[in-house]
Copies of this chain bind each other. A is one copy, B any other.
Amino acid sequence: MVQFSDIQEAAGRIADKVHRTPVLTCATIDAMAGARLYFKCENLQKVGAFKMRGATNAVFSLPDNEAAKGVATHSSGNHAQALALAARLRGVPAYVVMPSSAPAVKRSAVADYGAEIITCEPNLAARESTLAEVVNRTGAVFVHPYDNDNIIAGQGTAALELLTDHPGLDVVMAPVGGGGLLAGTALATRALAPAADIIAAEPQGADDAHRSLAAGHIIPCEAPKTVADGLLTSLGVRNFPIIQEHVREIWLADDPAIVAAMRLVWERMKIIIEPSSAVCLAAVLARPERVSGQRIGMILSGGNVDLERLPW
């Protein structure tokens, strides 16, 4: 299992390759929440998402002989872009398996970072067999988007920076999809702020992590329906035990609240966040009695949105 020392090592490894993102505050939103909120701006990270941290840690953790053959993944989202850019920074190939249904804008974003895209039929079996074929053919190392120790350690560096800048937080929050960010955040927070509550936020329409925590075992995410399209995945087996051990609660937020929180951040903080980033704030604003007077750090996970298709 990942240790805090892995996060510290990751922080050193990626320091000159990723942005040390700012932590912003907003008096207006604080007044609305009745709490003091510290926003760790991973939307301002390279490729517009915290995914750059884990991908960079994974790529630069490889010994030279393994790295030389490249890295591979299946993803049509931020992880694919992050892995492509991290591989380019190391000067090694990246192979990304994407379904033929992936939007052209996502394909070109990954291609722009220099990755080779391998198209497959849009179903799970085709995705996995295509990935296996690519790995066999190239010898590339498969880097899972979240169910991977180096990824978890890398994502934990965001909370490490947040708690270095603001040591006295009462609560640290992260959104949960596959659980890479949440597991890393939990480990960093438990080590650096042992008394702080670790709370996750999840869309009501993709509440598998909430139900998994209640059930004591992973319940897959089936037929999710939410505007927060970065949080549709099921929990990873490496992620779940960390979350079980450290996360106190998972708060749910419905889509109208997520969109309202997203727009509030755009209007008041002048930063662009994607819906998945707004779930923590939406959950906080819906629970004034739970957060009153608290100092709450929350990770804004990413800012990749289609400006032509805003959700309001």
User: Which of the residues B25, B48, B267, B310 comes within 8 Å of A270, measured between beta carbons?
Assistant: B48
Given known A-B contacts A22-B22, A263-B307, A307-B263, A270 and B27 have beta carbons under 8 A apart: no
User: Which of the residues B44, B272, B304, B312 comes within 8 Å of A24, measured between beta carbons?
Assistant: B44
Q: Are A43 and B270 in contact (CB under 8 A)?
A: yes
6 contacts between A and B (CB under 8 A): A43-B270, A44-B269, A266-B272, A271-B271, A271-B272, A307-B312
Residues of chain A in range 285-312 having any CB-CB distance to chain B below 8 Å: 303-304, 307, 310, 312
- A53: interface (CB < 8 Å): no
Assembled-state Cα–Cα distance A263/B263 (Å): 18
Given known A-B contacts A44-B24, A46-B27, A270 and B272 have beta carbons under 8 A apart: yes
Q: Are A266 and B307 in contact (CB under 8 A)?
A: yes
Q: Name the interface size band of chain A.
A: 20 to 34
Q: Kindly name the residue among A25, A43, A272, A273 whose own CB sees the greatest number of chain B CB atoms within 10 A.
A: A272
Assembled-state Cα–Cα distance A131/B138 (Å): 74
Q: Are B270 and A270 in contact (CB under 8 A)?
A: no
Residues of chain A in range 225-280 having any CB-CB distance to chain B below 8 Å: 263, 266-267, 269-273
- A262 to chain B minimum Cβ distance, whole angstroms, is 11
Copies per assembly: 2
What string of 1s and 0s marks CB contacts (under 8 Å) between A183-201 and chain B?
0000000000000000000
Q: List 15 other contacts, CB 8 Å, given A24-B44, A266-B272.
A: A19-B25, A22-B22, A22-B24, A27-B46, A43-B270, A44-B270, A44-B271, A48-B270, A263-B307, A266-B307, A270-B271, A270-B272, A270-B273, A270-B303, A271-B271
- A211 to chain B minimum Cβ distance, whole angstroms, is 32
* Chain B residues closer than 8 Å to A267, beta-carbon distance: 307
For the complex of A and B, list the 7 residue pairs with the smallest distance between their C-beta atoms, beginning with the closest. A270-B303, A22-B22, A270-B272, A43-B270, A48-B270, A271-B271, A44-B270
* Chain B residues closer than 8 Å to A46, beta-carbon distance: 27
- A85 to chain B minimum Cβ distance, whole angstroms, is 9
Residues of chain A in range 15-30 having any CB-CB distance to chain B below 8 Å: 19, 22, 24-25, 27
* Chain B residues closer than 8 Å to A271, beta-carbon distance: 44, 270-272
Assembled-state Cα–Cα distance A269/B269 (Å): 14
Identify the closest chain B residue to A26 (Cβ): B46
* Chain B residues closer than 8 Å to A24, beta-carbon distance: 19, 22, 44
* Chain B residues closer than 8 Å to A27, beta-carbon distance: 46
* Chain B residues closer than 8 Å to A263, beta-carbon distance: 307
- A70 to chain B minimum Cβ distance, whole angstroms, is 21
Assembled-state Cα–Cα distance A270/B304 (Å): 8
Assembled-state Cα–Cα distance A310/B272 (Å): 14
